Structure 1
Amino acid sequence: MKKTLLAAAVVGAFSMTAHAQSSVTLYGLIDAGIAYTSNSTNTVGASGSKNFRATSGLVNGSRWGLKGSEDLGGGNKAIFVLENGFSINNGQSGQNGRMFGRQAFVGLQNDKFGAVTIGRQYDSLVDYLAPLTLNGSSFGGTIASHPYDNDNTNNSFRVNNSVKYSSANYNGLTFGGLYGFSNKAGDFANNRAFSAGVNYANGPFTVAAAYLERQGNPGNNNGSGAVDTSTGGDSVFQSSKQRVWGIGGNYAFGPATVGLVYTHTQLQGLTGLNYNSTAVSFANDGLKFDNFEVNGRYMLTPAVSLSAAYTYTMAKQDSTDKKPKFHTVTLQADYRLSKRTDVYLTGSYQHISDNEGTGLAAGVGAAGGMSSTSSQTVVGTGIRHRF
């Protein structure tokens, strides 16, 4: 159960006086388990091996956070969120060691017009389109990511220095946009990002569309910019430009929901890729991905859910003119022990073809290393607790 706290009990910097119109809430999610990976290596071209390991965030990233609001009157509120990501295995902070790496923002909200916030935030593609994918939900999560999370629907990176607008809900219609500043004098476009998205829900139908663009200069990396593109940072790709757009829709009937999502990713000036602890170098290359996902979930009982997704991904590399193809299948069974605690069994299989000489390899989300063969299978079981 979420707990409303006196601010002084959480951080001494907060006010010592509690007001009926103000609140601070502590919340979080812990995802811990054990997983088997059929083939894993951290060095491209080296032989791989089977791997049994403890996991943190196999489905949803473990996190804790503080969120609060102050009623300013007239339908206006001051709001904030500070959210930390961490590994339950060793207690270390995620997102490259940031204290509040998942989210950190403050802003103003109006009941009729929406909210304007400033800080480190999710982009519009994550807000509006990703929830229609299996990996953007609790029914699939990280293990169901599209190859290398090329479209950021699994939220590999957040946007620093960002100003964001999120609309109110107008009879099922929500929309918004975000701009992340480079924060670099004389180099306004070096590591900036912007996005926009829209979502419409009406009865059993939900449809969404979104666009995201990140610009940078890998040869002159701006570490204070919108996205951390350094080795080991947030972004999977080190490139001069990353453009993503997508559309999708879900339809619910009875206890079942089915969905279709398409995303297109285009990378220019690609110099590196870091995914699942594996680094790949590219020579100012171009790379495109087209992801076609069909997904579904079924509530067998109020406590038991089954979900599945199949994603077909077509890639194209400019330097080799090769066109790798990925097939990714994800399955999950989940049992709720209570409103806050559930256990799951999940698995994902990915196969890649036509990838010789491209540097690309099979690599299931959260697998702990790419495969040295054309396929990779990950099977895991775990427990999630929310508070």
Structure 2
Amino acid sequence: MKAIHCALALACGLAASTASAQTSVQVYGLVDSGLAHITNADAEGNGVTKVPSLTGSLPSRIGFRGTEDLGNGLQAFFVLEGGISMDSGASGQGGRVFGRAANVGLKGAWGTLTVGRQVNMTFISSMKSDVMGPQLFSISSIDLYIPNARSDNAIGYLGNFNGFMVGATYSVGRDGVATGGPAATNCPGEVPGNSQACRQYTALLGYESKAWGLNASVDRMNGNTGAGGGLTGSGNTDIRTTVNGHLMLGDVKIGAGAMDRETDAATGLSESLLVFIGASKPFGAITLDAQFARRNARRSDDDVTLYVARLSYALSKRTAIYASVGRMDNDGASAVALDAGGTVAPGMAQNGVMAGLRHSF
């Protein structure tokens, strides 16, 4: 009997060893925190000093990714990635454990097929053209959906054929969380008899090379009862159409883009155009980034303009310190805060400074 037990233990050990040899799993992450001061944070014009919650120069996260080689160029993969609020240690993306990604898929020469919570084509479209990325002062402050362009209950495809990119996502319930930040809009969908409820599709077409890139995307989401953003009926829609591009001039990167938005909400129809242009220049271990952005509201004076610059110093390949300055000008009744997720009174301008430390692993 003891021999049988030993044999079973050995067999189980060999099976576990074989499985681990076939599957490669990586633990990775990024931690980024600092201190920011922003003026005019309330109607009385008082400033505020804070440790940012949503992001620093980049959002903090921890993730697990794994791949298995299935042969003939085919791989299976999974990604589980959660956001971290560095001021409190809470989970990001509306309190989700794996709010940044929770998906499984297959990939090969034909492209990548993904099922689960995933970034959609609006997020992918802006990645290479937005030199500031989702930092505290950025175009993310003007449209908080940009860094949170993820879809629950989704199936997605992305292919790259000699630089030509094509992709799409389709969600039957775009957002299953009700509270906890800009990523939570309470539209879980999957309603019997109403396939339009909380449905979302995004699509991308573009070309990418080392020297330049250009892409266009469309993002259409439906609402449902109780959903955020005024999309309280399944017939209400929010549509974003983007064109983004970047160009390398030596080691200088120039990125620009435009996003047209049309929201048919319960409160009525609103339309706007967001445009941005920025540049990034390395000087050895130092990198200087700067960006200008403006959102024009159609048939309204509620426009907003952003100016931002950032200086980063790489202490190593994984660790950097940075400092950033920014200004947000609000016109009319516009009340867009300079710091993502912050506050400002309508029509007020805000100035801000921030400094922090970032480490990836």
Q: Please state which band the TM-score falls in when normalised by the shorter chain.
A: 0.7 to 0.9
Residue equivalent to 2:336? 362
Residue equivalent to 1:119? 116
Contact 2:199 2:222 in 1 (8 A): yes
Give the structure with higher Rg (CA).
2
The size of the alignment, in residue pairs, is: 325
Within a 5 Å distance, the mapping from 1:101-140 to structure 2 comes to: 101-110=99-108, 112-135=109-132, 137=133
Contact 1:129 1:197 in 2 (8 A): no
Residue equivalent to 2:143? 149
TM-score normalised over the length of structure 2: 0.85
Ranges in structure 2 where 5+ consecutive residues have no aligned partner: 1-14, 173-188
Within a 5 Å distance, the mapping from 1:230-249 to structure 2 comes to: 230=228, 237-239=229-231, 240-249=236-245
Residue equivalent to 2:358? 384
CA deviations on 1:242-300 (whole Å, 9 max, x unpaired) are: 10011121111112111221111111115xxxxxxxxxxxxx12221201111101011
3-state SS of the aligned residue for 1:128? helix
Q: Give the Cα separation in 2 of the matches to 1:310 and 1:70.
A: 43
Contact 1:38 1:49 in 2 (8 A): yes
Percent of aligned pairs sharing the same letter = 27
Within a 5 Å distance, the mapping from 1:298-337 to structure 2 comes to: 298-301=281-284, 303-316=285-298, 321-337=299-315
Matching residue within 271, 287, 300 for 2:270: 287
| Aligned-partner residue type, residue 22 of structure 2 | Q
| Aligned-partner residue type, residue 166 of structure 1 | L
Residue equivalent to 2:193? 186
Q: Give the Cα separation in 2 of the matches to 1:123 and 1:31.
A: 24
| Distance of aligned partners of 1:337 and 1:380 in 2 relative to their CA distance in 1, 3 Å threshold | same
Q: CA deviation at 1:339?
A: 0.3
Ranges in structure 1 where 5+ consecutive residues have no aligned partner: 1-14, 222-228, 231-236, 271-283
Within a 5 Å distance, the mapping from 1:1-387 to structure 2 comes to: 16-17=16-17, 18-41=19-42, 46-56=43-53, 57-110=55-108, 112-135=109-132, 137=133, 141-146=135-140, 148-149=142-143, 152-153=145-146, 155-167=147-159, 169-181=160-172, 182-217=189-224, 220-221=225-226, 229-230=227-228, 237-239=229-231, 240-270=236-266, 284-301=267-284, 303-316=285-298, 321-355=299-333, 360-366=334-340, 368-371=342-345, 373-387=347-361
Contact 1:149 1:156 in 2 (8 A): no
After the TM superposition, which of the residue ranges 157-166 and 54-63 deviates more from structure 2? 54-63
Q: Give the Cα separation in 2 of the matches to 1:98 and 1:203.
A: 35
Q: Give the Cα separation in 2 of the matches to 1:211 and 1:116.
A: 19
3-state SS of the aligned residue for 2:142? helix
3-state SS of the aligned residue for 2:99? coil
3-state SS of the aligned residue for 1:100? coil
| Distance of aligned partners of 1:64 and 1:376 in 2 relative to their CA distance in 1, 3 Å threshold | same
Q: Give the Cα separation in 1 of the matches to 2:312 and 2:104.
A: 35
TM-score normalised over the length of structure 1: 0.79
